[in-house]
Amino acid sequence: MTGHKPFSELTKDFSPERKAKIASLINQLHEEMTLQELREALDLHQTDLSEQLGIKQAAVSRMENRKDIHVSHLKKVIEAMGGELVIIARFPNMEVCINQVALQNNDS
């Protein structure tokens, strides 16, 4: 016997409030990912992404470690991964999808 128990058994006595908080945290973790985590979740290697973007693998590594990235660069990366970039502004009483972001072809 290993002493291991299923997660469902460990959490069966949790209050509904605690279960809801755990579910919320799990959803938040799924919603918030770094570019590296996203790339890895999609089972892409840096070399795969670099080929899609027409840049060197080292440039992908640097980009993944940046704290700030241009929206136009982020759009290219997400599209190279097969996705679509959507920008949403959240306010206390509403969410607005921003669709007027000018994405230029230059790197400036």
- Indicate the fold that domain 7-98 takes in CATH: 434 Repressor (Amino-terminal Domain) (1.10.260)
Tell me the C-alpha distance between 89 and 74, whole Å.
Answer: 17
Q: Above pLDDT 70, what percent of the chain?
A: 83
Domain ranges in the chain are 7-98
33 closest CA partner among 20, 24, 42, 22? 42
Q: Is 77 exposed, middle or buried (0-12, 13-18, 19+ CB in 10 A)?
A: buried
Q: Each residue of 10-44: pLDDT tens digit?
A: 778 888 898 888 777 777 666 778 899 889 988 89
Task: Tell me which DSSP letter residue 11 carries.
Answer: T
Helices (H), 1-108: 7-10, 16-31, 35-41, 46-53, 57-65, 71-80
Any idea what the Cα angle at residue 39 is, between residues 61 and 96, rounded to 5°?
Answer: 110
Give the least confident one: 18-22, 58-62, 93-97: 18-22
Mean local confidence (pLDDT), 50-75: 93
